[in-house]
């Protein structure tokens, strides 16, 4: 099962404000990133082993314009994610992404590429694929 990392809970970093004025969030709030390319949110996750991991990013974007962000894993940008409009700021949706991670601690940052900044971000869910047990010779 994935582990949920709330954007308002340390060691997550929200460059902006933790707000709770739009209903439907998990935990005690969500990250309202500063409306600038500097307004990132970063999560620290722990992987039991290196490999492919699945991310679920829950967000809301109450505008009609996408709020793209770089997906930055351990300091390297691995893709750009669009974060389309969701209709209203209290309409949350989850985007599923796949990344490669190291064993142990990893940072996962969403770094906005436009001056409008990030969509509001509620949480990151993280799950690394397990290594199947070795086949036993009969």
Give the interface with ligand GCU as residue ranges (CB under 6 A).
19, 22, 32, 35, 89, 117, 120
d(CA 58, CA 39) in angstroms, rounded, equals: 17
Cβ closer to ligand GCU: 22 or 40? 22
The nearest distance, CB 93 to ligand GCU, in angstroms, is 15
The nearest distance, CB 31 to Ca ion, in angstroms, is 9
Cβ closer to ligand GCU: 16 or 70? 16
106: partner contacted, choices Ca ion, ligand GCU, none (Cβ within 5-8 A by kind) = none
Cβ closer to Ca ion: 60 or 128? 60
Contact between 32 and Ca ion per CB under 5 A: yes
**Residue from 90, 82, 96 nearest 120 by CA:** 90
Cβ closer to Ca ion: 13 or 50? 13
The nearest distance, CB 26 to ligand GCU, in angstroms, is 16
Of the listed pieces 20-28, 33-41, 92-100, 102-110, which binds Ca ion according to CB under 5 A?
33-41
Omega before 11 within 30 of 0, i.e. cis: yes
- Site for Ca ion, rule CB under 5 A: 32, 35
């Amino acid at each position: 099962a994935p582990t949920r990392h709330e954007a308002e809970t340390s060691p997550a970093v929200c460059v902006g404000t933790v707000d709770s004025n739009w209903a439907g969030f998990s935990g005690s709030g969500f990250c309202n990133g500063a409306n600038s390319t500097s307004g990132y949110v970063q999560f620290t996750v722990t992987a039991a082993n290196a490999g492919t991991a699945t991310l679920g990013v829950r967000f809301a974007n109450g505008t009609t314009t996408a709020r793209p962000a770089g997906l930055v894993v351990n300091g390297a940008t691995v893709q750009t994610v669009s974060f389309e409009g969701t209709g209203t700021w209290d309409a949350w949706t989850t985007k599923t992404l796949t990344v490669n991670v190291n064993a142990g601690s990893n940072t996962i940052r969403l770094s906005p590429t436009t001056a409008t900044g990030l969509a509001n971000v509620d949480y990151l869910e993280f799950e690394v694929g397990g290594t199947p047990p070795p086949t036993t010779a009969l």
